[in-house]
Structure formats: C-alpha cells, structure tokens
Structure 1
Amino acid sequence: MLRRLRIGALAAVFILVLYLLYTAYSIVSFADKNERVRSDAAIVLGAAVWGEEPSPVLAERMNHAIWLYNNGYVAKIIATGGIGDGDAISEAEAAKRYAVQKGIPEVDVILEVESRITEQNLEYAYAIARQNHLRTLTIVSDPLHMKRAVHMAKDLGMEAYSSPTQTSVYQSMRTKFPFLLREIFFMVGYQVKMLF
C-alpha cells in the first residue's frame, strides 16, 4: 500500500513537472509571435509609472504601439492601467501623455484607467473598444507576457492579434528568467481559475 502511494506521488510530481515545462515552452515559443495585421486599435497593457512618467517598460510598450500607429497597422491606441499605490497619475494617463509628446493625436489615444492587473486591462479595454465600435484588436506588451495576454483576450471573445514590443527592457537572461517564472505562475493560476 505504501509503495503504491509513493509511486502515485512520484507520478503526480512527474506530471506536474511536465505541465510546468510545457507551460514554460508555450510562453517562450509564443513570445516572438508578431501578427502584423491591420486592426482597429492596439491595446497597450499597463506597467508602472515613475513619478508622472511611464517606466521604461511602459515606454517601450508605447513605443511599439506608436510604431504600429505610424505605420498604419492600428487606427487607435487604447492605453490601460489605473493608479498604482503612491502614484500621482494612472498608468494609462502617463502612457497617453507620452504618446501625445511623440506626435500621436490626442483623439486617437483612448484611456482605460480602472484596471490593476492584466485580466482587468483586457476586460475593461474590451468594453471600451466595443463602445467605440473597435472590433479588431492588437495586444501590445512584452514578449514573455504575450501568451497569457492573448489567451485571456480570446477567452473574453476578442478578435485579438499578438504584437510584442521589439524593444523590451527584458533582454538579458538575468531579467528574462524572473519574468518567465512569474508568467508561469500566473498562467497556471489563470488556467486553474478557468476550471472553476
């Protein structure tokens, strides 16, 4: 009986390890999927604000959305993210100011200022998109964030396309590995949540 329990426990651990490895592989292999299709808007996922300026992570996400806009791939940009603890302005507002400074017409940057996490970024932005009759949506974030973000977007019913920033600040293994571990954790959490 004890031997069977040990074998069962080892099998469960083996299956869990395989699942985590598969999850890691799926995140990494999706990271460079860049669907350069024309869509109604780019949804830029929020990131930290430093003072009243976008953090380097948020700035690079906006730089990519600005490139998509300037090259005719998107007609609007939806900047997402609420006010973080201790911040003076929302992530979305900092992103919009940055885009306007870079020459994007203010009317073409739409704000979503209530969200605090990725799932909310997408859910609330999608509601705003529908209100503005924006049907096709390009998701913009860092490469290792894209698998989970696009998965969530499609679960919400979006016609969503992947376009990771090409200038992510997460370039070295020292910065990529913690990001990957975080994404594995949140992807597993999201998948477990969706089971219930």
Structure 2
Amino acid sequence: MPRPLAWIGRLLFVVIAVVVLTPAVVGWRVWYEARQDERPRSDAIIVLGAAQYDGRPSPYFEYRLRHAFALYRDGVAPAIVTVGGKQTGDRVTEAAAGRDFLIKLGAEAGDIVAVETGRDTLQSMVAVGAVYRERSWDSGVVVTDPWHSLRSNKMAQDNGIDAVSSPTRSGPSVRTRDTQFQSIVRETGGYLYYVLLGRSRHTM
C-alpha cells in the first residue's frame, strides 16, 4: 500500500493541476468564443449595455450597437433587445440610450425592446429571460465585446435563451494586445466565479 506521504504527494499534485489547468482551460474557452461569429436566423439580437453619458453611449457601447444594427439590417433577427439599467447618478438607462441610438441609425422603434433592468450582466440576462418567456421567444444572438461572449452566452442559456454570439470586432475592447489580454484574464475570473457561485462579479 502507498505510504501516507505518497498519498499526500498525489493529492497535492491533483490540487495543483486543478488550480493551474482549470483557469487555463477557461481562458482558452474565453479566447475561442471571442473568435466565433454566429448569425443564425433568430428571434432577437440581444445587445448588452455598457456605460452611457446622459443618453450618449460610451465608445464600448456604441460599437456594440452599431454591430447589432448591422445584424438587424442584414435580417438576422426582426427585433433588437437593448439591455441595462441605471448606474448611480444616471438619469437615463443604458437600455434607453441604446434604443435611442439604434433609432437614429435607422432601426424601427417598434422593433426595439428596451429592458431597463440590471446593473450587471447576470441581472440583465435574468430580465431578458423574462421578456423572452412573455413573448414566447427562444433564440437570440448576443452582441457584446469578444471576451465577454462566453460568460454572456452562459448566463443567457441559463435563463432559457438558445443563445449564440456575434461579438463586435471594432472599438476599444480590441484595440491593443494589452487590452485583449487583460480582458481575457478578467473574463476567466468572472466566468469561474459565476459557474462556481452562480453570481456575477458586477462586470459588464
């Protein structure tokens, strides 16, 4: 029979392997999902909110909205769902700012559903899931930054949405290698936190 020290050594090896390999695998999945661009015919395009300044979308948000509008214009879905509530001190929700911006781009107002609930991705996806159930929708194309796609899709699927991702390829989220690396590290932690604890780390 193996000696106690041998068992301890094996246990430590397994623990270290799990601690090292799990983040590495998730990080690879974040990177891989960021490279996908799926555009099946769907019930709606779900564009996740980011900061807005008194009704004006931030650069991150603007690029998401422009990409969502391009999908809508190409006939990927007949509706766009804008997502996001208010942060402290805001007068306008992210969802409302996104809706107004899409209308200026040329989207029909009646084709936009503004879900003005949620201060993070998880809260927003819970609210979007409720809207989907009310409208008997099933499928959605999630538009966000590339590195945010894996976690966003997981949260959407956990709320009853048959979700795929078509992330934006332009804007500050993909501008530099440093930004991309930092985003992958952050999203790896965010995904693990959500999967292990079922909660959001309040990152959008």
TM-score past 0.5 threshold: yes
In 1, distance between residues paired with 2:50 and 2:43? 22
Shift in Å, 1:130: 2.5
1:119-146 Cα shifts (integer Å, max 9, x gaps): 1221211211222333321111111111
Retained in 2: the 8 A contact 1:49–1:55? yes
Contact persistence 1:143–1:168 (CA under 8 A): no
Matched, 1:83 2:86: yes
Q: Quick one: distance in 2 between partners of 1:125 and 1:149?
A: 12
Residues 1:112 and 2:115 aligned together: yes
CA offsets per residue over residues 129-164 of structure 1, 9 Å max, x none?
Answer: 222333321111111111111122222221212111
Match of 1:184 in 2: 188
1:163 to 162, 166, 177: 166
- The reply to whether residue 71 of structure 1 matches residue 74 of structure 2 is yes
Partner of 1:151 in structure 2? 154
Q: What 5-or-longer segments of structure 2 have no aligned partner?
A: 199-204
Aligned mates of 1:84, 1:2 — CA distance in 2? 54
Residue 23 in 1 paired to residue 42 in 2? no
Alignment root-mean-square deviation, CA: 1.7
Could you tell me how far apart the structure 2 residues matched to 1:75 and 1:165 are?
A: 19
Q: Is the 8 A contact 2:139 2:161 kept in 1?
A: yes
Identity of aligned residues (%): 30
| Count of matched residue pairs | 194
Between stretches 145-154 and 162-171, larger displacement belongs to 162-171
TM-score, normalization: structure 1? Answer: 0.91
Q: 1:132 aligns with which of 125, 130, 135?
A: 135
Q: Could you tell me which runs of 5 or more consecutive residues in structure 1 were left unpaired when the two chains were aligned.
A: none
The CA distance in 2 between the partners of 1:99 and 1:178, in whole Å, is: 29
Give TM-score, length-normalised by structure 2: 0.88
- Give, in whole Å, the separation in 2 of the partners of 1:161 and 1:13: 33
Which residue is 1:53 aligned to?
A: 56
